[in-house]
Structure 1
């Protein structure tokens, strides 16, 4: 019997499930309104699959933008795969939910951050969620979307406006 309830892991699993559900809805119906996502993930995670040139360019982590153009979005229980455009070069990506470090939808000021901290008592990583449903202006501004192709620029709506989250903080 466990000595305590592992709330950190329970939250971790619930929030990964939230991401899975959001991506499943996007797979079925497309992105509604101005919604778009910045997803930062660990490129060193053993199950991540991406082109060699991308892993060379982003040896630790990478932020992708799901917005104007994406293809082949497949959502699984433990991962998702998607094809994104990198400088007019479509590249498939396979991303386990466990590799995700941040998930941000700036159109509605929503963000999740997953932090891994090592415990002195265990050799295993304990995942903790810090300010899980809050993001700061600095968090949003650190995400730089990939440059859209010429076709995307013609169809692209105006840039997302970053607004202060101070009013939502306690």
Structure 2
């Protein structure tokens, strides 16, 4: 492998960055979950909470949403989402805001959290100072804090607890 290919998988100057490798693998869980939802839809009570940085390069949001959510936004995918398309570096979909369909394009690198409360599953990602995925912090634990919810219809729903999987659980102490 060339130096450039190693850096793409988390190896710099001969040292393997396991945190970055695991974070990339966990983002693949998000990507594959969205691919399944795009292909087969979501069944039963299954739904996704996806939190992302709204000021991240490559984000495409309607102006009124960009103005309202200047830093971060959480969307809920459950019953009403359309045209979900998943590419390697981003996903796009239409959601209803005030009874009007709006297109959102979200790079995966902008995603800071992903959860499916119906099965108490969640992932949390941290963006580094240069707004690229770096390392996650905290431990694999039962999340007792409620998930903050901003649904696509701007209605509040009772938050549910979920399991947050993060990288410290895999580190030696």
Structure 1 CA distance, aligned partners of 2:133 and 2:112?
14
Structure 1, unmatched stretches of 5+, are 150-158
The 3 A distance-change label for structure 1 pair 51 and 144 is closer
Distance of 1:77 and 1:58 partners within structure 2: 25
Map 1:1-170 to 2 at 5 A: 2-118=13-129, 127-131=134-138, 134=141, 136-140=143-147, 142-147=148-153, 162=160
Number of residue pairs the alignment of both structures matches: 152
CA RMSD of aligned residues (A): 2.7
Aligned equivalents of 2:79, 2:18: Cα separation in 1: 36
The two structures have a TM-score, normalised by structure 1, of 0.78
Q: Using a 3 Å threshold, how does the CA distance of structure 1 residues 126 and 104 change in structure 2: closer, same or farther? A: closer
What residue number does 2:7 align with? none
- Unaligned regions of 5+ residues in structure 2, if any? 1-11, 164-168
CA distances 1:38-95 after superposition (whole Å, capped 9, x unpaired): 1010000010101011100000011100011000100101110000011201100000
TM-score (ref. length: structure 2): 0.77
